[in-house]
Amino acid sequence: MAGRLPAYPWLPHLRGTVTAGPPIRQVHLTPAAHAVIGRECRRSEDGDETGGILLGHVHDAVAEIRVAGDPGPGAVRQPDFFLRDLGHAQQLAHDAFTRDGSIWIGEWHTHLAAAPVPSERDLATYARLLADPELGFEAIVSIIAVANPQWDRPAAYAWTCFGNQAAAVPLALSTDDHCMTAPEELR
C-alpha cells in the first residue's frame, strides 16, 4: 500500500463550493482486506479494471476497512470502467454486518492508465451516492490501485469524498491491536 499521498491531494469539485476538512482523515486496512485487494488487483493484468466494495467502521475520523470485496461473477470490467456485481456486493455486506457489524463505507478499484486519483466518472458516482438520502453517507472512502510498475506489486491510494470535494488521506495496514504504516505496495 502507498503510505504517501498522491500529487493531487485535494479535488474540490465534486458538486459545488468547498467546505471544511474531511470527516475521515485516515484509512486502515485489516490484513484480510489488504490481501483481497492485492490478490484482486492481479485481475487487471488482462487489461480491464477491477474492484469491489469496502466494508467496515468509521470511528474518530478513521475508517477501518475490515472487508474488501471482490468484483463478483456478474461484474462489468472494461479498460476504463468497472461496475461491481450488485447482488454479490449486497451478500458480502449482509455477511459482514452479521459477523461484526461492518457497514458499506466505500469502494476500491484499479486504474489502468489514469493517475491514482478519482476520475470524473468516479467523482460523479461518489456525488450521486453522497446525495442519496436513503444511503445516509457523510463521506465515502475510495481506494484506487495502480500497477507499480506491474500488477504483481500494485500501489494503492486512499481518498475520502465528502460534501462537495475529495481529499487524499493516509492509507495504513492495521492489526487488531494497533495501526502501522503500510508498505508502498500491495503484495
- Mapping DSSP onto H, E and C, the string for 47-96 reads CCCCEEEEEEEEECCEEEEEEECCCCCCCEEECCEEECCHHHHHHHHHHH
Express each pLDDT in 29-72 by its tens digit. 999 999 999 999 999 999 999 999 999 999 999 999 999 999 99
183 domain-assigned: no
Using the predicted structure, report yes or no on whether residue 180 has a pLDDT greater than 80: no
5 domain-assigned: no
103 domain-assigned: yes
1 domain-assigned: no
Instruction: Check which CATH number belongs to the domain holding 134 and give it.
Output: 3.40.140.10
> How many structural domains are present in the chain?
1
The domain in which residue 102 lies consists of 10-177
Share of the chain above pLDDT 90, in %: 72
119 domain-assigned: yes
187 domain-assigned: no
